[in-house]
Structures are given as C-alpha cells and as structure tokens.
Structure 1
Amino acid sequence: MKQLQEYDREKAVSYARKWALSYNPAYANYENYGGDCTNYISQCLRAGNIPLDTSGEHVLKKWYWYNENSRTPTWTAAEPFYKYIIGNNKENTQNFGIYARLAAYNELELGDIVQLVYEGGAYHNMIITDIILEGEYLQDYLICQHTYNLLDYPLSLKEGQKRYIKILGYYNW
C-alpha cells in the first residue's frame, strides 16, 4: 500500500516569495498567452516536492511541464488545473501524484491554493504565503500570484468568488 507523502509547504512558500515579482528562467512565461498564474502555482507545488504526473490516461489527467512543447493544460490553465488536482485522488484511492480537496476558508494553511471563480469555472490561482492572526483569531491570509504579480498581498482585498483548495500531500510510486 502506498503511503501519503508530505507536501513541503515551507519550500512551496519560499519559492512563491522568491519568484512572485519575477519569472524563473527555467520555465516559460505565459503572461502574453492568457496569464501566468497557473504556471506559477504549478511551479510552487513542484518546489514543495509534488511530483510530476505522467501516469494519467489522457492529457487532462496528467500534470507536468518539461518545456514549452511538452506540457499539460493542467500545468498552465486554471480550470483544468482545478479538475486535475481535485479529481486526481479521492478518499481511499491512491493514484500517483497530488492529493487535494476543497476546503473552507478557515482551514487554509501555508501553501494551499485559492482560486477566483466566475460562473463555476476557475480563471485565476493564488498561493497562501502567510496567515494573519490577532491572538488566536484568523484575520486574513497573504497571497502571492502571477498575472498582476503580487507578493504577500492581503487575500481580503481580492475581489470575486473564491474557491479554496487544501493540498493534503502526494503519492509516488
């Protein structure tokens, strides 16, 4: 039986902060092709030790980026990314790769994902990079993002319907 491996939230957040206001030259920049937010979030998850997934039965059930000509829509587009990470593993399944679920606002941790949604479809991704508490009470989260690059920006200032995704870990072979 495969063991659920831990997502390294600190590494993901460190990467997010390092590249929030610039672009890692090891990856393509999709700002001129509809936005770079999902590409950036995928890079953050990869930095948090989430393995590439080439095992799915078709391109929307895989998640990888090797170069501009060898990548999946799930790596670079918000709604395919959502469908992949939520659908890849369910309770009591052990597919290869990421394991995530929808979450409530107050469940978010460093390295979790927030999506902006319009009419049921995701159009933007952000990563939680800090949690603002007053005593033990949650006040806000800070996020990083690409496509209007932001570093540690208050989530409460982001307009629009939000969807919250908790990264639980991953399975590897």
Structure 2
Amino acid sequence: MPGQGSGWREALVEYVNARNEEDLLGPSASYRRVPDPLHRSRLLGRQAGLSRRGGASRVKPVRSEIRARLLHRSEKPSEAVCDVRLHLLHSYGAWQEERMETERIAFVRGSRGWRIDRIEPLLTENRAEAWQPEGDAEELVGYEHAVIPSVPYLNPAATQSFKSRVYAGPGAAAGRGDGWFDPSKRAARYRREEAAAYADRWWDRPNPEYEEFEVNCTNFVSQCIFAGGAPMNYTGRREAGWWYRGRDKGRELWSYSWAVANGLQSYFSHSYSHSYGLRAEAMESPKDLMPGDVICYDWSGTGLYQHNTVVTAFTPDGMPLVNANTVPSRHRYWDYRDSYAWTEQTRYRFYHIADEF
C-alpha cells in the first residue's frame, strides 16, 4: 500500500494490522482496536459463527496476512473517505484460503490527529441481485425447465479460449451449421479438472471475454461449468434454458439461470427430469461433491438462494473448498460462516453436475 505517511494513512495501517492480528486469534479475538463499534460487532459475529463450526484447525489459521490496496479516495482538510480492497490470506496448514473484501472507510481529523470514524463493507454475498424474473414463480419454473430442442448459441467472443472443447451438436460438427444438440449421436463428458482450473485462474479478476456484473457470483460459476464442457441450451428467452449470448445492439443477453443465483439453483432442481444437456443431482452432504460441483446458499432460510460457489479442492478430511465471486474467494471453506451474509437460518443445497451431457 503506497504512501504510508502521516495523516489518515497511519490510521488505516493501524486498522489493517489490528485486523490481521485478531484474525489469528480465532474465537478469542476481541477486535478492541477496530474503532467502529458497528463494524466490530460484524467481525465478532463472524467469529461466533466460526466458533461453532467444529474442529480447531478450521477456526484458527496458523498464519494470516492482509494486503491493502487503495481503490479510491476523497479528501478534505478534516475528513477523508477511502475505498480499500483487503486481500486476506489465511493458511490452515494443509491449504491456504484467499479472499478479497472491499470496505469504505471514513476518517475524521481531530485535535489528536486522524482517526477512523466508520467502516462499511461494500461487497457482501447477501447483496440484492439486479435482475429477478418477471411473472408468476410457478409459471416461470415450467418455462425455465421445459425440455425443448434448442440451438446452443456459442458467443464467439465468450468461447474464444475453449470453443473447440464445447460440444455444439453433430450438425455444427458436420458443417451443416444448425448446431442442434442431439445426445443420441454423441455425448460430452464434464471435465471437472478444467472447471476447477478455470475457477482458480479467474477467481480474482474478470475474464474480459464476458460481462462482469456487480453481483457476479452466478455468472462466475456458470463460466466455470461452461469451461468444463457443459453445453449451453440457448432458447433466446431469459426465463428458459441456460445460456450466455453476449452483447447485441448495446444489450447484454443471458438467461436468468446463467447470471442469477436463485435462477441457477432452480434450474438445477428441475434438471434431472431432462435426458440431455446440463443436469445436476442434489446430494445429501458436502462430502458427496467433486471438483466442478456447485453449492447454493440461502442466507435467510426462506427458499430464496442468493449465492453460488464452485468446488475446487478439499480439506484433508474431505470437506469442500470453493471459489466464488462478488467477494472474490479461492479455496474458501464451503460453509461460509466467515461471511457477513451467514446467519443461523442459512440453508445449503449441494449439486453434483452430471458426468455426461
């Protein structure tokens, strides 16, 4: 972090150091040196959730590091507001977890110098998504999961890196150009290691071949699944199929299942009635999952899923580690008790992606 001179920068450095030291303490952390009482309460709430996870090695890291990057600042003689990205690296011995949290920190100048006045997390996993399907929910389920033949539209810009690996139908392969998906003639395998490799490559930065959304978790997971070889089911309707078309006449076109958390979960929950295409099976336990599988998160327990992650690795005792976006995360423990979004009402769904499409 450049410019660690006098003024509000010293208060920022003190805050980052306090956070780093307290994170190492695990459940015994008090965060007394965090000056904003409301933010201190948020941090303590996360630690309370972690303390009930079970297994000391999962609660307390053996090494912690926080790197701070200043994204934006607004300064006046007696106050300053800064957006700061905190790159958290926590080592648990057998694996290292990374995530990037963005906070807005307000500083004020008093008689004794600069101090932090308030701290606000800017990006959290429970942020409202910008798009929700229109119409009756029951009606939309029927449309979204109708088993109809469709042309899997493969956006050339979005598939440039791996378009040759994606099965677009025997018509396209034969040069007829229709691209119809015909599973009776050919099947495609899900390449789990490639889905996980894509997640590890792009967890902390957007792939420029896709649009980046402010709430990006499901767009990111869909990209990972697509990189693993899952064929798009292009219907041209937001509420139907699973597809990403790209920008057309100034509009970004994609299905709700591609980019909206509850849309993808709903698609998966009905997909095993299909005989072809992207399908997923609900599993009972996170230990039943494999790399490239998906976990869906309902923070309030109401049946509305607000976050998705993709499995990329495992702990020594077989529990999933996941990658995600919105809050960029790599090899994060699957239960998300370290998230500001997590509550006692949180419910999960574990989806195993079909091995063949």
Q: TM-score, normalised by structure 1?
A: 0.84
Aligned to 1:66: 245
Q: TM-score, normalised by structure 2?
A: 0.42
Offset of 1:120 from its aligned partner?
0.7
Aligned to 2:223: 43
Aligned to 2:353: 167
Offset of 1:85 from its aligned partner?
2.5
Is this contact kept in 2: 1:61–1:88, CA < 8 A?
no
Q: Which runs of 4+ in 1 moved over 6 A?
A: none
Structure 2 CA distance for aligned equivalents of residues 81 and 169 of structure 1: 18
Offset of 1:62 from its aligned partner?
0.9
Letter paired with 1:125:
N
1:21 counterpart = 2:201: no
User: Secondary structure of the residue that 2:311 maps to in structure 1?
Assistant: strand
Q: How does 1:1-173 map to 2 (within 5 A)?
A: 2=184, 5-31=188-214, 35-55=215-235, 58-68=237-247, 69-90=252-273, 93-95=274-276, 97-105=277-285, 106-117=287-298, 118=300, 119-134=302-317, 138=318, 140-158=319-337, 159=342, 160-171=346-357
Q: Percent identity over the alignment?
A: 24
Structure 2 CA distance for aligned equivalents of residues 156 and 82 of structure 1: 17
Structure 1 CA distance for aligned equivalents of residues 205 and 238 of structure 2: 28
Structure 1 CA distance for aligned equivalents of residues 266 and 356 of structure 2: 16
Offset of 1:12 from its aligned partner?
0.2
Aligned to 2:4: none
How has the CA–CA distance of structure 1 residues 147 and 50 changed in structure 2, closer, same or farther, with 3 Å as cutoff?
Answer: same
Structure 1 CA distance for aligned equivalents of residues 193 and 309 of structure 2: 16
Structure 2 CA distance for aligned equivalents of residues 15 and 150 of structure 1: 13
The alignment's C-alpha RMSD in Å is: 1.9
Offset of 1:170 from its aligned partner?
4.5
Letter paired with 2:253:
S
User: Secondary structure of the residue that 1:169 maps to in structure 2?
Assistant: coil
Structure 2 CA distance for aligned equivalents of residues 170 and 77 of structure 1: 24
Structure 2 CA distance for aligned equivalents of residues 161 and 81 of structure 1: 16
Structure 2 CA distance for aligned equivalents of residues 147 and 156 of structure 1: 16
Letter paired with 2:197:
S
Letter paired with 2:232:
L
Structure 1 CA distance for aligned equivalents of residues 190 and 269 of structure 2: 15
Q: Which has the larger radius of gyration?
A: 2
Offset of 1:156 from its aligned partner?
3.7
Does 1 or 2 have the higher relative contact order (CA < 8 Å, sep 6+)? Answer: 1
Letter paired with 2:332:
Y
Offset of 1:153 from its aligned partner?
1.0
Structure 2 CA distance for aligned equivalents of residues 167 and 121 of structure 1: 21
Letter paired with 2:324:
Q
Unaligned runs of 5+ residues in structure 2 are 1-182
Offset of 1:163 from its aligned partner?
1.2
Unaligned runs of 5+ residues in structure 1 are none
